[in-house]
């Protein structure tokens, strides 16, 4: 099952700056070979359900290993059976009026 995911990992108990943890999660996604695109409040990811969620679990493990005692993560997951759709298709459908 193909998914488009939006991921926002928030380490807690590590102070106010969390970008090094987010950067580490980008590496995890990169190493997993998943299409992903960082934005100002999360990261869009595209791939097979199992691959994407394995990578998200890996992010939690890595961020804890870096010293964060607590993590709260927000995930949005989209699946559809009516047609294939990429992350770029979703953006194009809004900006180009391909409804």
Cβ 36 vs Cβ 44: under 8 Å: yes
Report in angstroms the alpha-carbon separations of 66 from 14, 37, 60, 61. Answer: 10, 23, 10, 9
**17/35 Cα distance (integer angstroms):** 26
Q: Please work out the total of residues on this chain that contact its own copies, with binding judged by CB under 8 A.
A: 57
Rounded to the nearest 10 degrees, what angle do helices 19-31 and 49-65 cross at? Answer: 140
- Considering the rule CB under 8 A, would residue 62 count as an interface residue with its own copies? no
- Considering the rule CB under 8 A, would residue 84 count as an interface residue with its own copies? no
Which residue in the set 61, 62, 66, 84 belongs to the binding site for its own copies (CB under 8 A)? 61
Rounded to a whole number of angstroms, the minimum distance from the CB of residue 84 to its own copies is: 12
* Residues of the shown chain interacting with its own copies in the complex, contacts defined by CB under 8 A: 1, 4-6, 8, 10, 12-13, 15-20, 22-23, 26, 37-42, 44, 46, 49-50, 53, 56-57, 60-61, 64, 69-82, 87-88, 90-91, 93-95, 97-99
């Amino acid at each position: 099952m193909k998914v488009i995911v939006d991921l926002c990992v928030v380490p807690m108990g590590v102070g106010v700056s969390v970008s090094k943890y987010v950067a580490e999660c980008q590496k995890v996604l990169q190493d997993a070979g998943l299409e992903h695109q960082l934005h100002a409040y999360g990261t869009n990811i595209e791939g097979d359900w199992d691959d994407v969620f394995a990578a998200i679990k890996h992010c939690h493990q890595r961020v804890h290993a870096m010293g964060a005692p607590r993590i709260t993560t927000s995930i949005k997951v989209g699946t559809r059976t009516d047609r294939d759709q990429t992350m770029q298709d979703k953006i194009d459908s809004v900006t180009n009026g391909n409804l």
